[in-house]
Amino acid sequence: MVNVKFYGSLRQFGTSFKLDAENTAEIIRALTSQIPKLREFIQKGYFTVRIAKEY
């Protein structure tokens, strides 16, 4: 289980999500398939992915 939190301009799409995913690609696929217009928003901006154990 993975906890995903959105900050800044991404918060318009939600704040916190719990997903059963094994890697970042799976997380992005899951979120963009469920949240309308998220893919387009991400493609237009610059965002950082932080992993708690590595950050």
Residue 33 lies in a domain: yes
pLDDT at 55: 57
Range of the domain at 31: 2-44
Amino acid, single-letter form, for residue 41 = F
Domain count of the fold of the chain: 1
HEC string of 2-31 equals EEEECCHHHHHHCCEEEECCCCHHHHHHHH
Ranges of residues in the chain with a pLDDT under 70 are 53-55
Residue 25 lies in a domain: yes
